Structure 1
Amino acid sequence: MIDFKSELEKIATENNLLDETIEIKPVNVNLESKTIDDYPLMQGKEFLLRAFFKGDVGDAFTNNLVEFNGKLSEVIASGSNQMMIAALNSVMKHLKMVEKSEHCIKGEPEVCAKELSEFLMEEYGKEIKIGVIGYHPAIIRQMVTTFGKDNVIATDMDLDTIGRLRQGIVIMHGSMNEHLIENSDIVLSTGSTAANGSLEEILSYTKKYDKRIIFYGTTVACAAKMLNLERFCALGK
C-alpha cells in the first residue's frame, strides 16, 4: 500500500522542492443545496484540509484541524497522513501529474452524482446493485433515484448516521464493508478512505470478490494515480 511519506519525499526530492514553501489549512467549502442539508462538511463532522503550493491546490478530508506554513520537508517530517496527502495532491497538481484536486462547490456534488448515475447506466443498464462506501448524500440519493432503493446499499462510520434512514435507505456500519462489496455489482467509494486508513482493506475485499470499484472525490487523486485506481470526479477543480 502507499507510503505517503516516502512518495512525497521522492517526488519533492526528484523535483528539487524540499525547501519550497507550502501552506496547509482547513477551508470552508461553499456547498449549497435546496434539498440536501446533511453533507458531513456542512455539519462539521468532517473538515477539508487544503494545501496551497505555487498557485496550485490539493485537498484531503480529515477529522483533525491543523494549520501549517513552512517547507515541504517539514510536512514530510510531521508524520501527518492527512497533511501529506493534501501536500501530495497540490504538488502533483503543480507537476501536472493529477487533475481535479480541489473540491467542487455549491450544487455541483448533485450534478456530479447525476453524471455518475448516467455513466453507470450506460455501462450496466438499470438492473445493477450498487454499494456506496462513505455517506455522500447526493450520490446515495441519485443512485436510489436511478436504480431503486432495493439496489443500493451504503456504509459509514458516523454513529449519528449508522442505522438511520438516509436518502431512502438505512446506512450500515463500516464494519459491513466486506458484506457490501460481496453483495454489490459495482462499488462506489469515497476517496477519504485514502486518508482514514481503510483503503487497503477495501481494495483487498474488491480483489477477493472480483468487484469493480470507482473512487470519487479529490482526496484520492494522488493515491488513484499511484495505484492506478479508477476515479470519478466530474466537477473538481
Structure 2
Amino acid sequence: MFNQLKSSFIEIAHESGLMETEVNITARQLTPREAIGETERKDFPLLQGKESLMQAEFKGAIGQAFTDIPMNFKGKIKDIVEIKLSNNGERALFISALNAVMRHLEKADKTIHCKNKEPEMCAKEIAKSVINKYGIKSNIGIIGFQPAIIDNFSKIVSPGKVKVTDLDKDNIGKKKYGISIWDGKTMEEEIFKTSDVLLATGSTIVNNCLERLTIYAEKYNKPIYFYGTTIAGPAIILNLKRLCFNAS
C-alpha cells in the first residue's frame, strides 16, 4: 500500500515539476487550543497528550497527520519520497507532506483539523449519515477511540450494537459511553465479523494498520469508512471511502 502511495507521490511531483521543491514539516505537542480549540468534551486523545499533530506546509498549503512519534523535517520532495517509512514518525512525515502537496495541487481537500464545536458537529453528521444509509438496526464497528463519534452512535442505536477497538492500553477493557473497548491487536478481525458497517480513524495508515483493515473489509464484504484529515490524500489515491465534514 505504501509502495502505491510512494509511486503516486513521485508521479504527482514529477508531473507538476515539484521534486526539487522544498517542503517544511514541523511537529510538536500542540496546545489544546492549537490542536482542537475549545471543546466541551475533554477525552479526545489529542487532548490527553497521547498524540501529536504533525503539520507540513508546502507553498501555503497545509497537510496534517496524527502520530505518537513526532519528528521535524526540512528538505525537498525528493527527500520525502526516499524516507524508509519504518515507524509511525516517518510514516506521518510522508503522509503530512503528501497531504500538503495534494492540497496545493487541489487534488485533496479538508486537510486541516476542525476545532471548537466542529468535532462534535462532525461526529453527529457522521453518525447520522451512516445510520441513514445502513439503518438503525445495523451493527456498527468503530476502529480507534474517538469519543464524540462513539457517543453519538451510542445515542442513536443501542450500545450493544456498537463495537469499538483501540490500541491504547488505558482504554482497552474499559467501558466508555456504555461500550466495552476491545483490544485492537487481538480483536481486529472479530470486529469485522460482528459489524455491518465500520468506521476507522485515518491515522490507521500511520500506524500501518490500514492495509489489514481493507483486507478484512474485502474478506467479509463489509463497507468501511475512514474519517479525519490524516487520510485526506491517501483516500484519493487508494480509492477509500472518507467521512470528514468540518475540516478545512
| Same fold (TM > 0.5) | yes
2:193 is aligned with 1:182: yes
Opposite residue 190 of structure 1, the aligned amino acid is T
2:200 is aligned with 1:195: no
Q: Which of these residues, 116, 120, 126, is aligned with residue 116 of structure 1?
A: 126
2:24 is aligned with 1:23: yes
Opposite residue 192 of structure 1, the aligned amino acid is S
2-side partners of 1:169 and 1:45: how far apart? 21
Q: What does residue 95 of structure 2 align with?
A: 85
Which one is further off, 138-147 or 71-80? 71-80
1-side partners of 2:91 and 2:131: how far apart? 36
Q: What does residue 72 of structure 1 align with?
A: 77
Q: What does residue 221 of structure 2 align with?
A: 210
Q: Do the aligned partners of 2:141 and 2:198 also contact (CA within 8 Å) in 1?
A: yes
Q: Do the aligned partners of 2:175 and 2:181 also contact (CA within 8 Å) in 1?
A: yes
After TM superposition, list the pairs within 5 Å mapping 1:106-185 onto structure 2: 106-175=116-185, 176-185=187-196
After superposition, give the CA deviation of every residue in 1:5-32 in whole Å (9 maximum; x if it has no partner). Answer: 3332222122111121211112521332
Q: Do the aligned partners of 1:31 and 1:42 also contact (CA within 8 Å) in 2?
A: no
User: SS in structure 1 opposite 2:132?
Assistant: helix
Please report the TM-score for the alignment, with normalisation by the length of structure 2: 0.91
User: SS in structure 1 opposite 2:230?
Assistant: coil
Q: Do the aligned partners of 1:8 and 1:84 also contact (CA within 8 Å) in 2?
A: no
1-side partners of 2:37 and 2:184: how far apart? 25
User: SS in structure 1 opposite 2:154?
Assistant: helix
Identity, % of aligned pairs?
Answer: 41
2:43 is aligned with 1:33: no
1-side partners of 2:78 and 2:242: how far apart? 29
Which one is further off, 112-121 or 210-219? 112-121
Which one is further off, 21-30 or 191-200? 21-30
Q: Which runs of 4+ in 1 moved over 3 A?
A: none
Opposite residue 25 of structure 1, the aligned amino acid is T
Q: What does residue 87 of structure 2 align with?
A: none
Q: Do the aligned partners of 2:8 and 2:237 also contact (CA within 8 Å) in 1?
A: no
1-side partners of 2:167 and 2:64: how far apart? 21
Q: Do the aligned partners of 1:156 and 1:171 also contact (CA within 8 Å) in 2?
A: yes
After TM superposition, list the pairs within 5 Å mapping 1:38-49 onto structure 2: 38-49=43-54
Task: State the shift of 1:74 in Å.
Answer: 2.0
Q: How many residues align?
A: 236
* Unmatched runs of 5 consecutive residues or more in structure 1: none
